[in-house]
Homo-oligomer: A and B are copies of this chain.
Amino acid sequence: MIEVEVKARAKKDTQEKVAALGAKPLMVENHHDLYFNSPLRDFKVSDEALRIRIKEEGARLTYKGPKLDRETKSRLEWTVKIDDPLQMEQILLGLGFELSAEVRKRRTKYSFEDIVIALDEVEGLGSFLEAEAVGDDANWEMQRGRVLSVLTRLGLDEPIRSSYLELLEEKRNCQTHAQID
């Protein structure tokens, strides 16, 4: 499976425009994400991610491979439901992985055709919109065009390829620089 995903900073009128597009509200979720780094290679450099996501309905372990192109966040993704995130964390620590960051957000999900639109309020970062579709080797470039066009129709024309994890790190670095200046 290929996850085809674009992201942009949301504007004041983004929620209105999502409704005007005809997207159907699905649910609101609270995410608590634990990110791990590998002892073998730095995932920041290799562009991979290993995450435990804890939601009200349960938890998942997800591995994301490096991005497949330069415009979107499309990548190979594998995921399993797990019954106990604390045991999963202990397994990863035992195997040599390190907890590198935690991200908390409130996500409002909409469906539009076969695309999932998410409006995210990220603790410490602000509001973002993500549009996501799934594809395979044969059709992921077409799916990429479709999610990019959703962004354009919402008036959000600056896609961000950085993850929330990377954005939080950038913010932290800037704050450190500001303190030094």
A interface residue numbers (CB < 8 A to B) = 38-41, 48, 50, 61-63, 65, 76, 78-84, 87-88, 90-91, 94-96
Rounded to whole angstroms, the CA-CA distance of A33 and B64 in the bound complex is 25
**In the complex with contacts A61-B91, A91-B63, A94-B65, A81-B82 CB distance below 8 A:** yes
Rounded to whole angstroms, the CA-CA distance of A164 and B160 in the bound complex is 50
A150 to chain B, nearest CB (A): 27
A127 to chain B, nearest CB (A): 31
Q: Does the CB pair B95–A38 fall under 8 Å?
A: yes
A129 to chain B, nearest CB (A): 27
Summarize A's interface: helix, strand, loop or mixed. mixed
Residue in A62, A65, A78 whose Cβ sees the most chain B Cβ within 10 Å: A78
Copies in the complex: 2
Q: What is the chain B residue whose CB lies nearest that of A65? A: B94
Q: Pick from B48, B50, B82, B90: contact of A82, CB below 8 A.
A: B82
* A87 neighbours in B (Cβ, 8 Å): 78-80
A137 to chain B, nearest CB (A): 15
Rounded to whole angstroms, the CA-CA distance of A80 and B76 in the bound complex is 23
Rounded to whole angstroms, the CA-CA distance of A61 and B60 in the bound complex is 13
A79 to chain B, nearest CB (A): 6
Q: What is the chain B residue whose CB lies nearest that of A92? A: B63
Q: Pick from B41, B50, B83: contact of A81, CB below 8 A.
A: B83
Q: Pick from B63, B81, B83: contact of A94, CB below 8 A.
A: B63
Q: What is the chain B residue whose CB lies nearest that of A94? A: B63
Q: Does the CB pair A40–B96 fall under 8 Å?
A: yes
Rounded to whole angstroms, the CA-CA distance of A17 and B85 in the bound complex is 41
Q: Pick from B63, B84, B95, B96: contact of A80, CB below 8 A.
A: B84
A33 to chain B, nearest CB (A): 16
